[in-house]
């Protein structure tokens, strides 16, 4: 969870003052109207610079619990997960379209964990993992709480909420797939599928591919 928060949640866990400093630094580096399209050189430069700026703010935040933001854990089956369908496996990784290449990489993740029939795995990856609680996580740059159950509407995602799927392991239980949806209010949200691998007894994210974004 810490790895997700610090590397995949787009600095949303940082205090507003830290994000404002990052915004100002980015404005100095890039002129107005810069092209940040996926796959461009300018996009890669922007991502590298932003990651460096976020790392500086992250180090300042480390274990300073008074400045931690809260991320809520979604376990309500009424909301569930964003529907996911495995893309066709015939798409080439060298295709000129970036989204086609992403689909090809998603298929490669499945081949590493589920080399045979994927139907059971897909059921698990579309099923909400509800038997988890904040006590299962130890964080050093954010707080985590259960999403309040007294919300007026079960589909009201105006607070930052992350939901996880069930986990799919390979036969040796050294690699696994899982996915998550992150909702951050209004039309703000995204989801990824993760390949995690057990390294020296610890599970680490080895690859992440975007499934959707709003």
Other beta carbons less than 10 A from residue 77's beta carbon: 11
pTM of the model: 0.82
* DSSP 8-state class, residue 187: T
What is residue 40's predicted lDDT score, i.e. its pLDDT? 79
Structure tokens at 180: 């998550």
Q: Spell out a b/e string for 177-201, using b for 16 or more CB atoms within 10 Å of the CB, else e.
A: bbbbbbbbeeeebbbbbbbbbeeee
- In this prediction, the residues of the chain whose per-residue pLDDT falls under 70 are 35-36, 38, 90-96, 150-158, 186
- Antiparallel, parallel or unpaired: β 188-199 and 161-164: unpaired
Domain parsing of the chain, residue ranges: 2-213
Per-residue pLDDT reduced to its tens digit, 60-85:
998 888 899 999 999 988 878 999 99
* pLDDT for res 77: 83
């Amino acid at each position: 969870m810490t790895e997700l928060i610090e590397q995949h949640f787009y600095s949303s866990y940082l205090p507003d003052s830290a994000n404002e400093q990052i915004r100002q630094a980015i404005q100095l580096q890039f002129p107005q109207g810069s092209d940040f399209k996926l796959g461009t050189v300018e996009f890669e430069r922007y991502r590298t610079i932003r990651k460096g700026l976020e790392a500086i703010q992250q180090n300042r935040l480390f274990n300073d619990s008074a400045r931690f933001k809260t991320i809520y854990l979604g376990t309500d089956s009424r909301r569930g997960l964003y529907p996911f369908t495995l893309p066709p496996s015939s798409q080439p990784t060298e295709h000129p379209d970036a989204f086609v290449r992403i689909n090809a990489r998603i298929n490669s993740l499945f081949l590493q964990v589920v080399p045979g029939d994927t139907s059971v795995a897909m059921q698990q990856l579309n099923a909400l993992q509800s038997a988890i609680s904040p006590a299962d996580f130890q964080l050093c740059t954010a707080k985590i709480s259960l999403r309040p159950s007294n919300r007026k509407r079960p589909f009201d995602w105006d607070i930052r909420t992350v939901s996880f799927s069930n986990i799919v392991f390979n036969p040796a239980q050294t690699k696994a797939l899982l996915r998550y949806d992150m909702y951050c209010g209004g039309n703000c949200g995204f989801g990824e599928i993760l390949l995690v691998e057990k390294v020296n007894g610890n599970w680490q994210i080895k690859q992440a591919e975007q499934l959707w974004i709003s």
